[in-house]
Structures are given as structure tokens and as C-alpha cells.
Amino acid sequence: MTPIPNSQFPIPNSQSENPNITWAVTFVNELARAGLTAVCIAPGSRSTPLTLAFDAHPDIKVYLHLDERSAAFFALGLALETDEPVALVCTSGTATANFYPAVIEAHMSQVPLLVLSTDRPPELRHSGANQTIDQVKMFGNHVLWAVDMDVPTAEATELALRNVKTTAVRAYATANGLRKGPVQVNFPFRKPLEPGGEQLSVNSYQLAVEAQTVMERGEVMPSSRQMSQLVEVVRQYERGLIVCGPRCPGGDFPVAVARLARACGY
């Protein structure tokens, strides 16, 4: 599929035959606008709406995995390599629990992950339904933010879809903030999970002209006072050792460290 600008990616209108598809495509479209370029999917029945939405988007690369644990660690490595959020999608039940080890790693290492779990609707929870566990905030304090979405409805109002977009942007911004890490968005989907009479493609929906939210990320810089204190400390010693931690950002970082060493006379 030939890539097209995110602003031209179609979103379904509120009359789409399947509200799950409407919400999923709206959410995925807004993630792409925020900057998401990759998703790792461990396919399953309940995650069908999100899987189809990601597959239809021309600007997001899809990685398919049979095993949820492998998918999660692949996403973790991809996010480490790119220093940008990577999305994770799976079906309901124990599938989501298999993400847990990678989520903990992402939290402790400050790696941006978007865990998009799919779930049974509220009426099937706590009822012994197949592949149904308590997924709401299941990762505890190992995520920066967790939210349980509303169940998609056929009468999707403009306000409801705006909330879907806002949630997508907030999830991306939180994962990619000053302190990066994983977030969880839990999607309860009712059947049917597949599209109705419509075909999910770039020509099936109305065009989205404007993004819901424009997101900018600032840089963290030391203050003048902090810089003066550092200079005073450095000047006290003729020889020193500069220690750099893991995941130092930017390809020009080694050059900057070398310049600092020369300037300090180390």
C-alpha cells in the first residue's frame, strides 16, 4: 500500500455498521497522528477491531507474533532501538498477562510501550466467561497510566469519539513523556467483532481533516545555576572520569561527551 499523509487517513462515521470498528479506527488514526509508526500484534478473536484498524493504516508497520510474551519483548526491543513508543495488541484473558514481564522491564528501564488490551464487555466480567479475567489496571504500578475504555455503541456521539481521540493522544504522550514508560488502554468489545457490510479500506470512510490534539514535547535543560555549580566542581580537579549511563539519547551523544572531556582537560 502506498503511504499517504496521516491527515488523509479515513475515519468511519457514526453510522458505521460495527461501532467496534468505528472506535478502533478512530483510536488508531489518532495514534498515528501523534507519531506512532509500529505495532506488535498477537492476534486473537477479541482484538479483531484493533487488528483490522492497524492493518488498514498505511503509516503504521505491523509485526505479527503467535506468542504474546515474544511479541511484548520484541516491542520492548523495538522501542529501545527507536526511542519511540511501540504499540502492543492482544486478545482478552491470559493473553494480556503474558505481557507482564516486558511491561515490568519497560517500567524499570523507562521504555515507551502502549499496551492495548482487549476485553469482554462489563456484563461478561466476573461471570466465569471464557478467557475473561480482571484486566482493569492489571499491571498495577508498573504502568504510568491505565484506563478502561467505554464499550463502543452504535450511537457514537461526537463527544464520545472526541474522547476516544483524546485518550489515544494522552496514552502516547504519557508513554513518551519526560519519564518514559508503559501505559495500558483496555478495550471492552461486544460481538460482533468483525466489520459488517462495509469493507475496511482507505476508501471506506470519511476523511479526517484535523487532528484532535497537537502534541509538542519540550527539552529538559539544566539551569544556569546548575551549570555554574558544575563548572566550579570541574575546575577543582585536573583529572576526572565521565560516567555515562545506558540509553543515552541521540547519535551525537558520544561526540558531545568527547567535547566535554576535552573542555575539562580530562
Domain boundaries, the chain: 6-207, 224-264
> How many helices (H) and strands (E) would you count in the chain?
8, 8
Exposure string over 36-68, b if 16+ CB within 10 A, otherwise e: bbbbbbbbbebbbbbbbbbebbebbeeeebeeb
Q: Which has the higher per-residue pLDDT, 128 or 29? A: 29
Residue 174 near residue 30 (C-beta atoms within 8 A): no
Instruction: Kindly report the pTM of this predicted structure.
Output: 0.80
Residue 121 near residue 193 (C-beta atoms within 8 A): no
110-123 pLDDT per residue, tens: 999 999 999 888 77
195-242 pLDDT per residue, tens: 865 555 444 334 443 556 666 767 778 888 988 888 888 888 888 888
Residues 15, 21, 25, 27: is their CA dihedral positive or negative? positive
Cell numbers at 56, concatenated: 488498514
CATH 3.40.50.970 fits 6-207, yes or no: yes
CA distance 215 to 197: 36
Cell numbers at 243, concatenated: 560516567
Query: Does the pLDDT of residue 243 top 50, yes or no?
Result: yes
116: nearest Cα among 38, 180, 194, 57:
38
Q: DSSP assignment of 163-198, as one string?
A: HHHHHHHHHHHHHTSSS--EEEEEEE-PSP-S--SS
212: nearest Cα among 11, 2, 4:
11
25-50 pLDDT per residue, tens: 999 999 999 999 999 999 999 999 99
CA atoms within 13 A on the CB side of 219: 5
